[in-house]
Amino acid sequence: MKAQTKTTQDSLTPNDALRMLKEGNNRFVSNQHTNKNLLQMVNDTRDGQWPFAVVLSCIDSRTSAELVFDQGLGDIFSARVAGNVVNEDILGSMEYAVKYAGSKLVLVLGHTKCGAVTSACKKVNDGNITALLHKIKPAIERAEKEATVSADTQEFVEKVATFNVFEAMEEIRERSQIIREMENEGKIIVAGAVYDVETGVVNFFDN
């Protein structure tokens, strides 16, 4: 597996980028990783980087996007924050990735058994964690309206985790004119998915 180049990045469509992540997760789950010479990738990317996607995921130690999508150095931008929530810095990073660095895909990746989502559902109030968890509140409210399970169950927490991805996707489109316009023009795709920490499978949402 070689690092992305400007030529290979330019040749990709947004759907190609999405397909590459899906194929990478299939390899990860089947334990058939591509052969990567990481030191060679360091050399190949010393003068520049051409990632084909930017992935917003949680800081959870089990959800490294490079690993679960079987990618190498220089392949994807990875933005990580507890609960995979959106803020101004995340939006700016994504805008840089798609407008100036050529990425074709914005993926919001949630995961099962998320500590941030669980804490938000339990209304944890502690230091700066409080403000972060507040960003998950819209997903909780959405789950309370649409879910058919009790709010004190693990199933409810997983519903919130899923809705939290949808909320992030909607917020990205609403708050970023750059991303919204590029998606409308077909230059990029904004997609969502949830990683199952028990199986390693990434379940992608239909766009």
CA–CA dist 97, 91 (Å, integer): 10
Going 143 to 141 to 64 to 205, the CA torsion angle's sign is positive
Which residue in this structure is represented by tokens 């994504």? 94
Which residue from 99, 117, 41, 43 is spatially nearest to 75, judged by alpha carbons? Answer: 41
The amino acid at residue 40 is Q
For residues 191 and 204, is the Cβ–Cβ distance under 8 A?
yes
Q: Determine the length of the chain.
A: 207
Question: Is 111 flagged in the annotation as binding?
Answer: yes
For residues 21 and 68, is the Cβ–Cβ distance under 8 A?
no
Question: Is 121 flagged in the annotation as binding?
Answer: no
Binding residues: 58, 60, 111, 114
Binding residues for Zn(2+): 58, 60, 111, 114
